[in-house]
Amino acid sequence: MPTQDFDAAVAASRAAVQAMGQGDPEPSLALWTRRGDAVLANPLKPAVVGWAQIEAEVRRVAASFTGAAPPMTFEEVARVVTPDMGYVIAFERARVRRVGSEDLVPLSLRVTTVFRRELEGWKLVLRHADRLPADA
């Protein structure tokens, strides 16, 4: 059943976000398609397209974090799954520590994540995030 596999992909992407907050890019990198049509659109930077640019950006972002305080929360707004594609729209909230600071600061993102079924399973093809006010 495609939905069960998709649920596992979504759970893996949430675990990858938590790993990014600890400075570890590897779980996130493992989720991405290696095809040239993938897009990563983070807040504060222009979108990047294709595996090479996504890999560099994921590593850069992970290197900016030195830790996140539990719990990181994921508030799902919508989910659609077809046999070959699926997406999730959610709010991600955490308190994170950036390199060079001991302070935990709130990070609230509205995120759209799109997956495509490929031979290896569900792969990330789009992650678009924008910042929200801390109280949103």
Q: Are 77 and 103 in contact (CB under 8 A)?
A: no
Q: Are 34 and 125 in contact (CB under 8 A)?
A: no
Residue with more model confidence, 133 or 87: 87
Q: Are 84 and 91 in contact (CB under 8 A)?
A: no
Question: Which one, of 72, 61, 66, 53, lies nearest residue 26 by Cα?
Answer: 61
Distances (CA, A) of 103 to 38, 44, 50, 62, 71: 34, 20, 34, 17, 16
Quick: pLDDT tens for 76-114: 999 999 999 999 999 999 888 888 888 888 889 999 999
Determine how many CB atoms are found less than 10 A away from the CB of residue 44.
Answer: 7
Look up the pTM and report it.
0.90
Quick: pLDDT tens for 1-19: 356 799 999 999 999 999 9
For residue 12, the SS3 value is: helix
